Amino acid sequence: MAKIICKPVSRSIGVDLGKRTSHVCVLVDGEVEREFKVSSTAEAWQKAFEPLERGRLIMEVGGPSPWVSRLLSKMGFDVWVVTPWTLKEIFKKQRRKNDRNDAAALALAGAQSPGLLKRIEHNGEQVQRDRITIVQRDTLVRARTRMIGCLRGVLGSLGIDVPICSSDAINRRVEEHVPQDLRASLAPMLVALATISAQIKQLDDAIEELGERYGATNVVRQIKGVGPLTALAFVLKVEDPRRFSRTRSVGAYFGLAQGQQQSGERDPQMPITKSGDDLMRRLLVQSAHYILGPFGVDSDLKRFGEAICARGGPRAKRRAVVAVARRLAVLMLSLWKSGEVYEPLRINNARLSATDANMSTN
């Protein structure tokens, strides 16, 4: 028999969040007691919810959900922030889908079927503030990548091939291989690229400083291939390592676990779920590429990925990268929890010791 996660309640509040206004439905014993709208300001939420009786409140994760959930929790409500995919079946049954009906559906699910809802926990306000630096850097890096791609495309159409180089060196390469008259027409983009690169450098320095405030980053950075950015992003996103009772769950938390649609004898191979934080997943994958690349040191992680690649197949390398990224997340959390010194070849050395022990016994 499945474990009962929580019990139904007679009173539930559903909140359909919006950027400017949100719809609220108060449900008591299956009947709508009250419906209203609230504008997206802290004062409006405080004024609208202060008279309400405290109880279970369901809202879907979204842009305003972090600060709204914190505010309502401080007011005494039992706030549940739930993932969108758990609500698909609920919303699918609605003949007329709108914000008002969505709020009622959330309230009904919270009252009658709470065990079907997948709750999430938002990071604290200070952690969210610190993550702004990481998000800004990611946005600028992606913008720079698109601009460099556009620049190479424009020059390629004119038969000019700029050698492959780092993003920081693209301006110098253009000066070396592009005629002077053409460089003048590209000046706005080149100036923008130089400015973005300078801003990224400043953010890199800020990330190094932030990492010093979070001691756990030094623990996870013992792994060759985990830099200051990946370490800080991981520590900020997890925030509290004790939230994972099973260390292996962190891979699924970042969407690196394989999906499943098993039914009877049918169990097709599915891609990874890609749930959770997209930026953290990309950083873990980048670290996995480094570990498996020519600069990655010999380690259990590298050997694990190479063994998957050795099996062959058209997607062997891709599967190896994802598998290493997933195991890397587990290793980072394990080191954080234990505070142990990282041993790159711990598993391999343990096997050798066991083999030597068996040989000496025989």
- Where in the chain does DSSP place strands (E)? 11-16, 21-28, 31-39, 56-60, 78-82, 119-120
Asked if the model's pLDDT at residue 313 lies above 90, the reply is no
Asked if the model's pLDDT at residue 353 lies above 80, the reply is no
pLDDT tens for each residue of 175-193: 899 998 898 899 999 999 9
Check residue 325 and give its pLDDT. 97
Per the listing, tokens 């709508």 go with 32
Average pLDDT, the chain: 90
For the residues 37-46, what does the mean pLDDT come to? 95
Asked if the model's pLDDT at residue 285 lies above 60, the reply is yes
Asked if the model's pLDDT at residue 235 lies above 50, the reply is yes
Torsions phi, psi for 32 (to 5 deg): -75, 115
Q: How confident is the model at residue 8 (pLDDT cuts 50, 70, 90)?
A: confident
CA gap 336, 329 in Å, rounded: 11
Residue 110: Cβ-neighbour burial (10 angstroms; 0-12, 13-18, 19+): buried
pLDDT tens for each residue of 115-153: 878 888 898 999 999 999 999 999 999 999 999 999 999
Are residues 345 and 299 in contact, defined by beta-carbon separation less than 8 angstroms?
A: yes
Q: Which residue has the higher pLDDT, 98 or 278?
A: 278
Length of the chain: 362
What would the DSSP string read from start to end of 70-115? HHHHHTT-EEEEE-GGGGHHHHHT-SS--HHHHHHHHHHHHHH-GG
CA gap 287, 332 in Å, rounded: 12
Q: How confident is the model at residue 4 (pLDDT cuts 50, 70, 90)?
A: very low
Tokens of 70: 């914190």
Asked if the model's pLDDT at residue 3 lies above 50, the reply is no
Asked if the model's pLDDT at residue 317 lies above 70, the reply is yes
Amino acid symbol at 280:
M
13, β-bridge pairs: 26, 57
Tokens of 139: 């946005």
Tokens of 360: 């000496």
CA gap 85, 81 in Å, rounded: 12
What angle do the packed helices 170-177 and 125-157 form, to 10 degrees? 10
CA gap 305, 324 in Å, rounded: 6
For the residues 261-290, what does the mean pLDDT come to? 85
User: Which residue from 259, 306, 252, 261 is spatially nearest to 281, judged by alpha carbons?
Assistant: 252
Check residue 89 and give its pLDDT. 64
Asked if the model's pLDDT at residue 1 lies above 60, the reply is no
Residue 62: Cβ-neighbour burial (10 angstroms; 0-12, 13-18, 19+): middle
pLDDT tens for each residue of 9-29: 899 999 999 999 999 999 999
pTM, two decimal places: 0.86
CA gap 205, 209 in Å, rounded: 6
